[in-house]
Amino acid sequence: MAEKDKQNKDFESVNFIVFLWKWRLTLVIVTLVAGIAAAIFSGPTFIEPRFRARVLMFPSSTGAISKALIAEDLSGRRDIMELGEEEQAEQMLQILGSNPVRSRVIHHFELMDHYDIDTNSRFPITQLYKQYEKNIQFKRTEYMAVEITVLDKDPAMAANVANFIADIYDTVKTHMHRQRAYKAYRLVEQEYMKQKHEVQAMEDSLSSLRALGIHDYESQSERLTEELAKQLARGNQPAINRLNERLEILGQYGGAFVSIRDALEYEKKEHSRIKTKYEEAKMDAHAVLPHKFMVQEAYEPEKKAYPIRWLIVVVSALGAFILCLILIIVFQNISNLRKIQQQSA
């Protein structure tokens, strides 16, 4: 039985080879015609060649510049030379695909005219956005870098667009940060200036009290009291009168001196803390630091990336061969079925 099955399979294989040989001319002609047609219709006359330019970059790990450079709390600091991770790469992709980036690219390169989109058509903006998304793509690599890929009919245009997008990434992200950082800076600045004026007012008050002869209430009070006791023992009335006057002034303004002095000490500590916050907020609002590490800038490609003519020719020829073969088999089976029906009739 097994030997018989083997013979049947060998017979079927031989029959298939004979079948292919019988229809060899048709199959060869169809395959050649399909290949030639594919070679012709994939040429620049029918399909516009596209050139591909790429930019490769890593996001930075730092957000606030002040935390990376001048923050005193080391627990939250990150090295400004540290590459970003998955979270930063995803954020970069979101920004690159955002409308601010797209709008700047469209206006800078006048893509409406470059893509030959009719402004009088029904949906010109929709067509423009579809063409933009088709030609400009962003993706994350396996090593957490971000790749910008631009396809265009002009190789120089492809490279310029890719590099421009990489450049404006910093601009857009900095603008996003500054919108929030500047408001925070203004709030901290108001508090800083308010406290600065309060400290200055307290220092002016202490200066006025020092002009009255009050410099250190506790030690002065102790020394004047001791000196008064000595002069009383000696019966030196002029000295006693002078000491009483000074003690009277000390008693009248000493409490205010102590209160202002202690409050000033506390306010100076708070002022120092707020000044640090003020400097951090000022740096975040005004300083500029790149948000990316460039690995590869785009260069003008010499060879077109699309269409791949040899692949189109091979796929078209192979597809035509298989389709022709299927149609011949169907046609042959239908013909055999009709012969059997005629014989049975």
The tens digit of pLDDT for each residue in 168-186 reads 998 888 888 777 777 887 8
Same domain assignment for residues 234 and 166 = no
Looking at per-residue pLDDT, the higher value among 36 and 80 belongs to 36
Residue 113 has pLDDT above 70, yes or no: yes
Pairwise CA distance, residues 115 & 307, whole Å: 18
Same domain assignment for residues 178 and 194 = no
- Among 244, 263, 286, residue at a domain's last position: 286
Pairwise CA distance, residues 88 & 286, whole Å: 22
Same domain assignment for residues 65 and 162 = yes
Residue 205 inside a domain? The answer is yes
* CATH number of the domain that residue 108 is part of: 3.30.70.1130
Same domain assignment for residues 281 and 292 = no
User: What is the 3-state secondary structure of 165-190?
Assistant: HHHHHHHHHHHHHHHHHHHHHHHHHH
For 253-268, write each residue's pLDDT tens digit: 666 777 777 777 877 7
pTM score: 0.64
pLDDT at 290: 75
Considering its fold, how many domains does the chain have in total? 2
Same domain assignment for residues 58 and 126 = yes
Distance separating the N- and C-terminal Cα atoms of the chain: 35
Residue 168 inside a domain? The answer is yes
Residue 222 inside a domain? The answer is yes
Residue with structure tokens 């510049």? 65
pLDDT-derived band at 53, boundaries 50, 70, 90? very high
Residue 24 inside a domain? The answer is no
Residue 1 has pLDDT above 50, yes or no: no
Residue 63 inside a domain? The answer is yes
Residue 158 inside a domain? The answer is yes
The domain of 171 spans 51-184+288-296
Same domain assignment for residues 219 and 273 = yes
Residue 58 inside a domain? The answer is yes
Residue 10 inside a domain? The answer is no
Same domain assignment for residues 292 and 245 = no
- Among 238, 268, 286, residue at a domain's last position: 286
- Among 286, 318, 340, residue at a domain's last position: 286
Same domain assignment for residues 85 and 206 = no
Same domain assignment for residues 153 and 59 = yes
pLDDT at 227: 65
Pairwise CA distance, residues 345 & 337, whole Å: 12
Which of 3-12, 162-171, 295-304, 310-319 has the largest mean confidence? 162-171
Same domain assignment for residues 171 and 114 = yes
Neighbours of 154 (CB within 10 A): 13
pLDDT at 44: 65
